[in-house]
Amino acid sequence: MVRHAIVLAAAFAAALTPATCFGESSKPLPAKATQELPAELLALLEQKKMPKYSPILVRLFKDEAELEVWKQDTAGRFQLLKTYPICRWSGDLGPKLYEGDRQAPEGFYTVTPELMNPNSNFYLSINLGYPNSFDRANKRNGSFLMIHGDCWSSGCYAMTDEQISEIYSLARDSFRGGRTSFQVQAYPFRLTPVNLARHRNNPNLPFWQMLKVGNDHFETTQLEPKVDVCNRRYVFDAQPSPNSPHPLVFNPIEKCPPFVVNPEIARRALEKTARRRARVRAIA
């Protein structure tokens, strides 16, 4: 445990070094951070019509212990590229609340190039950017929450070194394509009506139902949901009210401004929920 604590501290310090992900400093990058994607994965990209440098989106599911990488195809929609088994994640189902609770985060996060660490002591790592504006508005704190290798976790999502090598390379290539960030969606489990009903007595249910809105927007459109925070809540795909003369301005801790949800996205999400509920009733 002492050795792990020392290693963890060193890795976290290294993760804060900015703008060294893609050779912007004079220090050469380690080979593990520059290696090409495996031939099998390159072939899969071609098969699924996904340009090598197109954007990605990552989804994490604790209960199923799965990490999904979605990638934009030539039609501009995100399609599932590959599902990786999560080697380890720590804590329980539910969001991270404070430093030292050993909880892996849940929510919507944005990863930028400076959050990529090619010199991690956990092989390679990607900082989730916790706490985000929602977390801070709800007085949640913590630091150095990662997706990393080494298959060892203390509040992180740990993968094998081989897995994180692929995930890191996919993220790196999406930045090389001109994208300045990618979205990570972290969930307690797949947010189906059955799973939510199974956890209906969990005190985190209202939080999970809020996350489900963003989940449904993504699954029904295959487009990255636009995420804002106001009144200490997530808001997805908000746009100004009709005839509004002012752009939307969101403050995480203040009352939400008047807005509407993109009506086409809202319609698709409601239809999806209705279909799933109908299937549940049929099974019951």
Cite the active site residues: 148, 156
* Secondary structure element (H or E) that encloses residue 8, with its range: helix 2-15
Tokens encoding 261: 């949800």
Please tell me whether residue 229 adopts helix, strand or coil conformation: strand
Tokens encoding 7: 């290693």
Residues 6+ apart with CB under 8 A from 34: none
Residues 6+ apart with CB under 8 A from 230: 250, 251, 252, 254, 255, 256, 257
Q: Count Cβ atoms below 10 Å from residue 248 Cβ, excluding itself.
A: 16
Residue type, 17: T
* Secondary structure element (H or E) that encloses residue 175, with its range: helix 161-176
What is the b/e burial string over 59-90, where b = at least 16 CB atoms within 10 angstroms of the residue's CB?
Answer: bbbbebebbbbbbbbeeeebeebbebebbbbb
Q: Count Cβ atoms below 10 Å from residue 230 Cβ, excluding itself.
A: 22
Q: CA angle at residue 193 from 235 to 260, to 5 degrees?
A: 25
Tokens encoding 107: 């929510």
